[in-house]
Structure 1
Amino acid sequence: MHKSYQYDHVNDRLAQLLSSFADDIAIVMGKQVTDKKARRSAAVYGKRDRDGFIHRSWMKSQGLPDDSFDGRPIIGLCNTWSELTPCNAHLRILAEHVKRGVWQAGGVPVEFPVSSLGETQMRPTAMLFRNLLAMDVEEALRGYAMDGVVLLGGCDKTTPGQLMGAASVDLPAIVVSSGPMLSGKFRGETIGSGTDVWRLSEAARAGEISEETFFSAEAAMSRSAGVCNTMGTASTIGSLSEALGVALPGNASIPAVDARRRTMAHEAGRRIVALVEEDKPLSTFLSRAAFENAILVHAAVGGSTNAVVHLLALAGRCGVDLQLEDFDRFSRDVPLLANLLPSGEYLMEDFDYAGGMPAIMNRIADRLRGTAPTVGGQMIGEVAASGECFNDAVIRPLDTPVQSSSGTWVLRGNLCPGGAIIKPNAATPELLTHEGPAVVFESIEDFKARVDDPDLEITEDSVMVLKQCGPKGYPGMPEVGNMPLPKKLLQAGVRDMVRLSDARMSGTAYGTVVLHISPESHLGGPLAVVQNGDRIKLDGPARSLTLLVDDAELEKRKAELSAPMAPPNSERGYVHLHVNHVEQADKGCDLDFLVGKSGATVTRESH
């Protein structure tokens, strides 16, 4: 008995010692040990009953061995690949590299498709369907038995829609963007997506270049797979994904066809398995501090105005109290450091070679909320500390910025009681304070029919006003706010005018353009009662936009407004749902019943 007791005692002590060294051994082996809780996927694939049989059997038909379901993390690859979305046309290639990383880290990757929104191809506007994509993603993540997800997106609305849907389920998640296309090259010039479309189009309409020259730039501008190579909406969201901490460094800028993007995708596959092991859902990263970092970075890179509605909508899914004024308040004194089109000279390929987002964050490190965590395992301050700039012409030093202030100006006044925004670094400085008579276009069709009419009464001092282009009225809030100028003014050398609308504009666009006027004209907002000849005053530095018409006259006009016509094709289907439930721009244009989250729990079986 005595010897037996001794042996038992030694065995117990040995077990204790091995247990105490387990974490150290695991760290040496490159693995992080955490207290594991039951996998979400185990509730489906781990069941020892008829339902478990069904779930496992059909998955095994794809060649998965038995041990795929022994408790390994099931990792979803949420893919917006589509040949109708050229920005994302190579995501199936990137998905294979993500899978390598997942397998290597001991997970089981399962790829699935969701809606793909091709910004340059989809009508009437991809923005109409961002919330539909978010619904698609949310229900797929909740309904299928996965433990974590890699969001493969890139084109303007795909990443925001994916993040919104993922936030409402709150699994561990990581963003892998498609990356920017190669720089455009045309007749000895470097040209950028979108920005040079607007420039060349205006030059052709002014008679400065031939129609043949204009159209011959098509193929030269788009030379590879990937998103716009300017700091448009897609590159902006890719950048903000890094600032939010939900993507790895390089996500925004590594060119789409660069081998390093495949390497990053591989590493993302490994990291998502680690996030599952560490039980770090998306909400771990999407905190108030993360959104403030995104706003600061948005200003430093001169990002797209579209980021405002996307961040507001995403914050609503996360329960973060983000307000429209926050974009102005936090970015007011941030300098523009990224010298990129449309606010500068260079393109995303140059930005990457200059150091990309880590270099930008390094330059504004003292402003960032440095302790915010990232999916890569570092704090955002550590990512910023690792950043290094290799070309000061592309990423400017603080003492020689592109502009001394950047960001988003949020306007208020009797013309926009719910707010409006303007991108000052894309505007003509002299026009940021301006007063002039309104030239009103009642719809996009009215605008297209009359803008080049030689008899149109308009001068360079006029204020162009476009109605019925808001979230409900269009429907979908299209990128038409940067209205082309009348041909007769272009031919006279005019290149910018003050323009107002309840629409959006492309992140690749430029000009003194007031956007997102809320409430929109379709709802009877003040924009609806503006008439030709009304004086409008824009005072950007004072953040005001005023219709110089007395209150009594405005009330009289409102009382005389006719009920708005139903937007096109809104009698049924998703568009009907959108028109009846979409919120205004100052709230992010989400559907009112989608704000918040429902989590990942599913209580009923399928058979």
Structure 2
Amino acid sequence: MPETPAATGAPAVDIKPRSRVVTDGIEATTSRGMLRAVGMGDEDWDKPQIGIASSWNEITPCNLSLDRLAQGAKEGVHSGGGYPLQFGTISVSDGISMGHEGMHFSLVSREVIADSVETVIMAERLDGSVLLAGCDKSIPGMLMASARLDLSSVFLYAGSIAPGWVKLSDGTEKDVTIIDSFEAVGACLAGKMSEADLKRIECAIAPGEGACGGMYTANTMASVAEALGLSLPGSAAPPSADRRRDYFAHRSGEAVVNLLRQGITTRDILTKEAFENAIALAMALGGSTNVVLHLLAIAREADVELSLHDFNRIGDKVPHVADMKPFGKYVMNDVDRHGGIPVIMKAMLDEGLLHGDALTVTGKTLAENLADLDPDPVDGTVIHTFDNPIHATGGLTILHGSLAPEGAVVKTAGFDAAVFEGPARVFERERAAIDALAEGSIEAGSVVVIRYEGPKGGPGMREMLAITAAIKGAGLGKDVLLLTDGRFSGGTTGLCIGHIAPEAVDAGPIAFVRDGDLIRVDIAARTLDLLVDDAELDSRRSGWEPLPPRYTRGVLAKYSKLVRSAAEGATTG
């Protein structure tokens, strides 16, 4: 187990490493007066001040449980001997912002969340934090803030939504998630589903609070937080409405005070080995492609060297074993019924696929946590055994080649074609592609190229769920390859490759693709190539200018000036 000050006999740590400036001495008179107004008193000045940062709002069902959980975390901080101070940050709904201008702001919100949490904790001189989030960008935003601040900190997930249930007009009955809705839109537009059935699905997909149910981005990142060691073991899988979440909230509050007593901060936990554990779990789960972007960003904040090559290196060793939506059959509630994320982590540890000596927010190692929990073996259906995997290698792959010199990301867990070669259909941004599909002008065998959707050129690196779901709904999901310098939703299905870097606005090769150019992807070889000779590409570069910026003021204008390549996590700091 990594040594802490207490373990080495070093002087006792100060459990108020920063807040003494606002509580101690004559010069703190005014700040103490202000703190009395929020409920503190003389008996509280020796207690560590813990920020309870919550992205609660009523914008989306993902975050509805967080107000309740914040109360549990505050009670836990009091129980542990600290004093909690709650504050809020933003969160946007990817489901609501998908497919229109609003999606430009989704990835940007990750940076705003991290910056706002940093701003409050630095300004108020808080000693530690419990970070609460429930949606795709709020989770990595909170984890980035934790890594940047390097204080004692515990992350808690809001929890997953229950699957919906629908009965269609032909008598078909099935569980549904948000992805069924996007795909139903495509089917309806293609004349393959009635508007009446579309309405039935609309009314069924979100029966209550919680994040989208499959192994989409939110559940992937919540699982990854547990593997990183920043969440309490077993806390990722319970549903949002389940009162076990209140228990984990209370324990998270106690845990952060315990971390302060031991002198353990976030970067003691976020080692290279912790990130390797997180990547390994994402590979085994067949998680969202967005986990690549977010882990790169969190690692940058933690000053840990992490690159795209690490994902392929680890993915080579880790089988894909989770039969999870969007490509599989099951949702996070099913994982929870079979023991949660510790079940798969224990199986991975037994296979030598995790670093068991990695430190966690319990103050114990990952191996010690799993030994204490003693989870059951994997069930073999929702989570396959490692001698009977769904795929022999991890569910995510990084591609390189003449079309993606800096890299691209593909979710091989659902990529049915080992090799795909076809002529390009090029579109400047997503809307043009959606319109072409509605007109019936995208044919089987085509490679749809959507560019100027990268971090800088979009700006905001929008998710392409609307077009991918429409392609699948139109019956072309296995016959059309989609490439973009933008992103995909964690719920995207079909033949999709994103995060192509360099992006179009930075004169990446994707900027020079023309209709009819042959493009070839070879998953086994991990290559993505534009089959156009160098002389022709050089001629196309002559006199080239990128599309002008879409935004010249506001947050997107600032973001586009600061953001880095997707190959570096699309960070701005």
TM-score (norm: length of structure 2): 0.92
Which of 425, 434, 439 is the equivalent residue of 1:453? 439
Distance 1:96 1:509 in 2: 35
Q: Aligned pair in 2 of structure 1 residues 295, 563: CA closer, same or farther (>3 Å)?
A: closer
Distance 1:493 1:105 in 2: 56
Q: 1:490 Cα shift?
A: 6.2
Match of 1:184 in 2: 164
Q: 1:390 Cα shift?
A: 6.3
Match of 2:295 in 1: 311
Which of 408, 413, 422 is the equivalent residue of 1:420? 408
Q: Aligned pair in 2 of structure 1 residues 38, 460: CA closer, same or farther (>3 Å)?
A: closer
1:88-107 to 2 correspondence within 5 Å?
88-107=63-82
Match of 2:3 in 1: none
Which of 517, 520, 523 is the equivalent residue of 1:534? 517
Distance 1:562 1:493 in 2: 33
Which of 233, 242, 250 is the equivalent residue of 1:258? 242
Distance 2:389 2:328 in 1: 11
1:394-473 to 2 correspondence within 5 Å?
394-428=382-416, 431-454=417-440, 456=441, 458-473=442-457
The aligned amino acid for 1:546 is: D
Match of 1:382 in 2: 368
CA contact (8 A) 1:130 1:157 kept: yes
Q: Which moved more, 1:395-404 or 1:350-359?
A: 395-404
Unaligned runs of 5+ in 2: 1-5
Match of 1:44 in 2: 21
Q: 1:219 Cα shift?
A: 2.9
Q: Which moved more, 1:178-187 or 1:298-307?
A: 178-187
Map Cα deviations across residues 487-518 of structure 1 (whole Å, 9 max, x no partner).
Answer: 7x966776442111101111011111011000
Q: 1:124 Cα shift?
A: 3.0
Structural RMSD (CA)? 2.2
Q: Aligned pair in 2 of structure 1 residues 110, 264: CA closer, same or farther (>3 Å)?
A: same
Q: Aligned pair in 2 of structure 1 residues 390, 212: CA closer, same or farther (>3 Å)?
A: same
CA contact (8 A) 2:503 2:510 kept: yes
Match of 2:274 in 1: 290
Distance 2:240 2:465 in 1: 29
Q: 1:384 Cα shift?
A: 3.8
Unaligned runs of 5+ in 1: 1-25, 595-607
Q: 1:37 Cα shift?
A: 2.3
Q: 1:42 Cα shift?
A: 4.2
Q: 1:555 Cα shift?
A: 0.7
3-state SS in 2 of match to 1:221: coil
3-state SS in 2 of match to 1:418: strand
CA contact (8 A) 1:193 1:508 kept: no
Structure with greater Cα Rg: 1
Q: Aligned pair in 2 of structure 1 residues 477, 494: CA closer, same or farther (>3 Å)?
A: closer
Distance 2:420 2:315 in 1: 23
Match of 2:460 in 1: 476
Match of 1:156 in 2: 136
CA contact (8 A) 2:77 2:83 kept: yes
Whether 1:136 and 2:116 are equivalent positions in the alignment is yes
CA contact (8 A) 2:188 2:473 kept: no
Percent of residue pairs identical: 35
Distance 2:473 2:228 in 1: 41
The aligned amino acid for 1:133 is: I
Which of 188, 198, 204 is the equivalent residue of 1:214? 198
Distance 2:474 2:296 in 1: 40
Q: 1:145 Cα shift?
A: 2.2
Q: Aligned pair in 2 of structure 1 residues 494, 259: CA closer, same or farther (>3 Å)?
A: closer
Q: 1:209 Cα shift?
A: 2.3
Whether 1:124 and 2:103 are equivalent positions in the alignment is yes
Q: 1:394 Cα shift?
A: 1.1
Which of 487, 496, 502 is the equivalent residue of 1:519? 502
Distance 1:359 1:378 in 2: 18
Map Cα deviations across residues 506-565 of structure 1 (whole Å, 9 max, x no partner).
Answer: 101111101100011122211011111101111111011111110010011011323421
Distance 1:424 1:494 in 2: 14
Match of 1:547 in 2: 530
Which of 449, 455, 480 is the equivalent residue of 1:497? 480
CA contact (8 A) 1:192 1:228 kept: no
Distance 1:290 1:245 in 2: 7
Distance 1:231 1:515 in 2: 18
The aligned amino acid for 1:438 is: A
The aligned amino acid for 1:181 is: I
Map Cα deviations across residues 451-479 of structure 1 (whole Å, 9 max, x no partner).
Answer: 2224x2x4311111111111011110011
3-state SS in 2 of match to 1:54: helix
Q: Aligned pair in 2 of structure 1 residues 220, 194: CA closer, same or farther (>3 Å)?
A: closer
1:71-110 to 2 correspondence within 5 Å?
71-110=46-85
Q: 1:201 Cα shift?
A: 2.8
3-state SS in 1 of match to 2:103: coil
Match of 2:34 in 1: 58
Q: Aligned pair in 2 of structure 1 residues 415, 376: CA closer, same or farther (>3 Å)?
A: same
Q: Aligned pair in 2 of structure 1 residues 255, 361: CA closer, same or farther (>3 Å)?
A: same
The aligned amino acid for 1:280 is: I
Map Cα deviations across residues 343-397 of structure 1 (whole Å, 9 max, x no partner).
Answer: 3111111110111111011111111011001102331123344232463211111
Which of 310, 314, 321 is the equivalent residue of 2:305? 321
CA contact (8 A) 2:61 2:208 kept: no
Q: 1:117 Cα shift?
A: 2.7
CA contact (8 A) 1:437 1:534 kept: yes
TM-score (norm: length of structure 1): 0.87
Match of 1:23 in 2: none
3-state SS in 2 of match to 1:272: helix
3-state SS in 1 of match to 2:459: coil
Q: Aligned pair in 2 of structure 1 residues 406, 247: CA closer, same or farther (>3 Å)?
A: same
Distance 2:162 2:568 in 1: 35
1:185-200 to 2 correspondence within 5 Å?
185-187=165-167, 189-200=173-184
Q: 1:443 Cα shift?
A: 2.1
CA contact (8 A) 2:19 2:126 kept: no
